[in-house]
Amino acid sequence: MAKSAEGHVGWGETIALPSWSYETVESIVSTVDRYLAPIVMGRSAFDQAYFQKQFDETLTPTVSQGFPFAKAAVQIATLDLAAQIAGLSLHRFLGGKVRDTIDLSFALSIDEPQRMAEAARSFPGGEVLQVKVAGDARLDAERVLAVARARPDTDLWIDANQSYRPVHLESFLQRIQGMEQVRCLEQPVKSIDWFGIKRARGRSSLPIAADEGCFSSYDVARLARMEACDLVVLKIAKSAGLWGCQRRAFVAEANGLGLLGSGLTEAGIGFHRECAPLFHTRPGAAARIEWSKVPGRSARGRSFVPRQHRNGSGCSGPGYSRQGGPDPELCGEDLRTASPNTIGLV
């Protein structure tokens, strides 16, 4: 939480998911306390360019990504604070929204095929379902087929979460070939396997989306130059905040790549107050969260169109906090007990 001398409050959130990226709760806390907080303390919340420059000079994104999850938490709080002071909703602060709704879908966790089919039936009709797969070509194909049969009214978005080696992926692709409901395949191979994802794209009739293998705008440029993917997954946390996410979107669009919006199981601040306002301002992107995901535009001429819309306009008050503070019903019990007298960055 960031608080101005005048009493305005900005909220930020990030998530520690070391199985997905290298940052832990401990590393995020120490990074914020020792390296990032001193940069923003005592400065104007409108010094956003200064914050980005100093963050990257202090924690350089070289071999690693420079602790983007920790940077995102602080950058989000200062951006919320700036919007609060300006008296603008976040989407207006970012330039204004271009849509009033965001298309959502739901994620099906890895399980036995019939259990995943049962879960698929429980979701509302007309949605896109994201189907998690685990690197077993035969069983994964059964999972996808079971969900497709259970929900013939939905499109399917497959997320492999880096679980395949390129040589084994071809068997899976052959097994699901011709399934018209399947719209794209997300991060089929290891994040560091740049040639593997390029090979996957060359062998696949589906659009390939890069997620864990694409953190920065430089990654987007590299993937585009390699012609290694069709879609780029935008996540605010892995992009070191909203500005980094915007830069990735600009580079992707300039190179003809489609956009997918995403979260990482964030609570109310992370999705309703961060992701949604940003994606409402992007002409080519939609939004998703860990339990509900949204497809974006078509790529390489392949159909990738969601079928149902949900209201996703978010709050219209200042920043992305309702009436100067986050909604406890969306953000969790911990925010109900936060001290109102916190000064600076906590």
> Would residue 120 count as lying in a domain?
yes
Residues 63 and 175 both lie in one domain:
no
Beta carbons of 83 and 319 less than 8 angstroms apart: yes
The per-residue pLDDT for 335 is 31
The per-residue pLDDT for 193 is 95
The per-residue pLDDT for 280 is 62
Reported as a pLDDT band with limits 50, 70 and 90, residue 270 is low
> Would residue 169 count as lying in a domain?
yes
Residues 326 and 218 both lie in one domain:
no
> Would residue 160 count as lying in a domain?
yes
Mean pLDDT of 272-296: 51
What is the span of the domain harbouring residue 150?
A: 101-311
Residues 63 and 105 both lie in one domain:
no
The per-residue pLDDT for 278 is 65
> Would residue 172 count as lying in a domain?
yes
The pLDDT tens digits of the residues spanning 200-248 come to 999 999 999 999 999 999 999 999 999 999 999 998 889 998 899 999 9
> Would residue 96 count as lying in a domain?
no
- Residues of the chain with pLDDT > 70: what percent? 74
Residues 151 and 290 both lie in one domain:
yes
> Would residue 306 count as lying in a domain?
yes
Q: How many domains does the chain have?
A: 2
Residues 144 and 80 both lie in one domain:
no
The pLDDT tens digits of the residues spanning 89-103 come to 888 888 888 877 777
Residues 212 and 184 both lie in one domain:
yes
Reported as a pLDDT band with limits 50, 70 and 90, residue 156 is very high
Beta carbons of 113 and 139 less than 8 angstroms apart: yes
The per-residue pLDDT for 196 is 96
| Residue 176 confidence (pLDDT) above 70 | yes
Residues 239 and 328 both lie in one domain:
no
Of 9 and 338, the structure prediction assigns the larger pLDDT to 9
Residues 269 and 184 both lie in one domain:
yes
Residues 108 and 145 both lie in one domain:
yes
> Would residue 199 count as lying in a domain?
yes
Residues 189 and 152 both lie in one domain:
yes
* The token pair that represents 70 in the structure block: 């920790």
Residues 218 and 328 both lie in one domain:
no
Least confident of 1-5, 77-81, 141-145, 204-208: 1-5
45-72 exposure pattern, b = at least 16 Cβ within 10 A, e = fewer: beebeebbebbeebbebeeebbbbbbbb
Strands of the sheet containing 2-3, edge to edge, are 9-10, 2-3, 344-345
Beta carbons of 286 and 295 less than 8 angstroms apart: yes
Reported as a pLDDT band with limits 50, 70 and 90, residue 269 is low
Residues 184 and 293 both lie in one domain:
yes
Beta carbons of 83 and 251 less than 8 angstroms apart: no
Beta carbons of 278 and 289 less than 8 angstroms apart: no
The CATH number of residue 209's host domain is 3.20.20.120
The per-residue pLDDT for 43 is 92
The CATH number of residue 26's host domain is 3.30.390.10
> Rg for the chain (alpha carbons), in Å?
20
Q: What is the pTM of this model?
A: 0.76
Question: For the chain, what is the mean pLDDT?
Answer: 80
> Would residue 268 count as lying in a domain?
yes
